[in-house]
């Protein structure tokens, strides 16, 4: 594990994390010091638990922040515990022996990372890399399993997240396996992204947080192909890129690509 993987301690599973009250806020992050005070409790699947469960969760959680490019865990590594994503974004990816990388998904706030590995006792199935300054609180494998045994509501939420991850994986398989062209893959990716922003308007604005290389790794194409397709889509006035903002100007046009 690289030393840069952990900002406050190299081994959170050994209890070396600084106490939450002593933590400063690097990278402009507003640190969430306790699960009890988390602003995302009401609208996040795992965070929205009964008070007794949240209190127990807070007692076994070690707050930690990570810089962009840090690695939380690596594919094939034996599970040490889970990370609750409090702020920021984390990329989950898998790689082949010849170095090809496929991004499985971009995790959102409230997700529990490393969940399948800890529950099953098998190695992590993906590599988790931080995309932007992030707070991801750590819970050791032993503490987390004991927590699930004692709190049935939390165990149910874990099952719900695993089900969501399963459906997301099927959606990605459909995009990559059933699309007939790279253009169709990119169009489907952009439409799915728009749906995640809960917008069906004619013009959709979204922050572009992924590079062309990362988008290529998500749809199973090359970076050059993605760059060429973006240029083509812009010429057809299907979308526009303004700095870090992606504007889908013609959703119906993207949907026609899927139909063709």
What percent of the residues of the chain are helix, what percent strand, and what percent coil, each to the nearest 5?
A: 45, 20, 35
Q: How far apart are CA 166 and CA 169, in angstroms?
A: 5
> Which of the four pLDDT bands, split at 50, 70 and 90, describes residue 18?
very low
Kindly indicate whether the domain formed by 3-174 is annotated with CATH number 1.10.645.10. Answer: no
> Which of the four pLDDT bands, split at 50, 70 and 90, describes residue 64?
confident
pLDDT for 231 beyond 80: yes
**Interval 243-260: pLDDT, tens:** 888 889 888 899 898 876
Domain-by-domain residue ranges, the chain?
A: 3-174, 179-259
Same fold, 3-174 and 179-259: no
**Interval 137-177: pLDDT, tens:** 999 999 999 999 999 999 998 998 899 888 878 877 776 76
**CA-CA distances (angstroms) from residue 25 to 58, 76, 87, 130, 188?**
19, 32, 12, 17, 38
pLDDT for 228 beyond 90: yes
CATH class in words for 179-259: mainly alpha
Instruction: Please give the mean pLDDT across all residues of the chain.
Output: 81
Residues 6+ apart with CB under 8 A from 50: 153
**Interval 68-116: pLDDT, tens:** 999 999 999 999 999 999 889 999 999 888 878 888 888 888 889 999 9
**CA-CA distances (angstroms) from residue 108 to 17, 98, 130, 196, 218?**
23, 29, 11, 11, 16
> Which of the four pLDDT bands, split at 50, 70 and 90, describes residue 26?
low
**CA-CA distances (angstroms) from residue 120 to 94, 111, 115, 145, 162?**
18, 18, 8, 10, 11
Q: Mean pLDDT highest for which of 19-28, 33-42, 67-76, 155-164?
A: 67-76
Give which of 81, 192, 73, 168 is closest to 130, Cα–Cα.
73
**Interval 106-144: pLDDT, tens:** 888 888 999 999 999 999 999 999 998 999 999 999 999
- The predicted pLDDT at position 23 comes to 46
Residue range 198-207: average pLDDT?
A: 66
């Amino acid at each position: 594990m690289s030393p840069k993987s952990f900002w406050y301690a190299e081994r959170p599973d050994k209890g070396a994390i600084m106490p939450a009250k002593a933590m400063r806020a690097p990278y402009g992050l507003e640190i969430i010091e306790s699960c009890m005070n988390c602003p995302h409790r009401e609208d996040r699947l795992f965070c929205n638990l009964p008070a007794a469960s949240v209190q127990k969760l807070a007692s076994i959680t070690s707050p930690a922040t990570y810089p962009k490019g840090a690695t939380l865990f690596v594919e094939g590594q034996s599970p040490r515990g889970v990370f609750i994503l409090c702020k920021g974004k984390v990329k989950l990816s898998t790689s082949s022996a010849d170095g090809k990388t496929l991004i499985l998904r971009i995790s959102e706030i409230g997700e529990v990372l490393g969940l399948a590995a800890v529950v099953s006792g098998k190695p992590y199935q993906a590599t988790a890399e931080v995309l932007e300054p992030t707070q991801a609180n750590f819970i050791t494998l032993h503490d987390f399993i004991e927590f699930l045994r004692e709190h049935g509501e939390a165990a149910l939420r874990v099952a719900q997240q695993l089900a969501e991850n399963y459906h997301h994986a099927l959606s990605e398989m459909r995009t990559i396996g059933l699309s007939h062209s790279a253009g169709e893959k990119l169009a489907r990716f952009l439409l799915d992204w728009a749906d995640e922003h809960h917008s069906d308007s004619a013009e959709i604005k979204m922050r572009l947080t992924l590079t062309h290389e990362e988008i290529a790794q998500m749809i199973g194409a090359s970076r050059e192909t993605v760059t060429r397709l973006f240029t083509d889509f812009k010429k057809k006035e299907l979308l526009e890129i303004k700095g870090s903002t992606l504007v889908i100007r013609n959703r119906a046009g993207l949907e026609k690509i899927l139909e063709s």
